[in-house]
Amino acid sequence: MLITLDESHRKLVHQVRDDAGEWLASKGTDQYRGGLDMRQVHANIDRDFDNFPFVGWEVDGRVVAVMAIIDPEADFWTPEELAEPQTYISRFFVVEHGKDYGSALLGAVIRRAKDDRKRWIRLNCWSTNTRLHAYYARHGFEHVRTVDVPGRMSGALFQLRLDK
């Protein structure tokens, strides 16, 4: 079931981000590479948590996947793209891998965006992580381009057209 997260879930979002760092290190990608100040990482999550809705996928009363619905980022997208009706997703994490919890949440967010007559689901993700790119391609997303913004490693832009 798709739910909107509340204050009681803030720590869970920190936790799944921490867990993702360890999981990704074991996958041999430099996504969320080591040496980051985790207090800063949590502060960045808190900034989003305070300003944007987070949604979750709940199974048997337990939140098993989370995602933020943020504003599209002007660093990466053109003014024309920014102006289009879209749902822009970020901070996408699962509590447990291999159960398709993330796919279930993504599917529910796509359905809601269609109901809301959005034209696109869009996101930016880690530029060099081709397995992550393949994940989004499997879910119907097209790679738009990869943007090189100094200091930002997540310039691979993906979108899914909803109104066709």
CB 126 within 8 A of CB 24: no
Say whether residue 48 binds ligand COA (CB under 6 A). Answer: no
The one among 131, 143, 145, 152 contacting ligand COA by CB under 6 A: 131
CB 13 within 8 A of CB 49: yes
The one among 5, 13, 88, 102 contacting ligand COA by CB under 6 A: 102
CB 133 within 8 A of CB 156: yes
Reading the block at residue 81, the tokens are: 């793209």
Site for ligand COA, residues 6 to 45, rule: CB under 6 A: 20, 24, 27, 29, 31
d(CA 122, CA 19): 24
Cβ at position 46, least distance to ligand COA in Å:
18
Say whether residue 87 binds ligand COA (CB under 6 A). Answer: no
Q: What is the helix (H) or strand (E) element at residue 59, kind and residue range?
A: strand 54-59
Residue ranges binding ligand COA (CB under 6 A): 20, 24, 27, 29, 31, 92-94, 97-103, 123, 125, 129, 131-132, 135
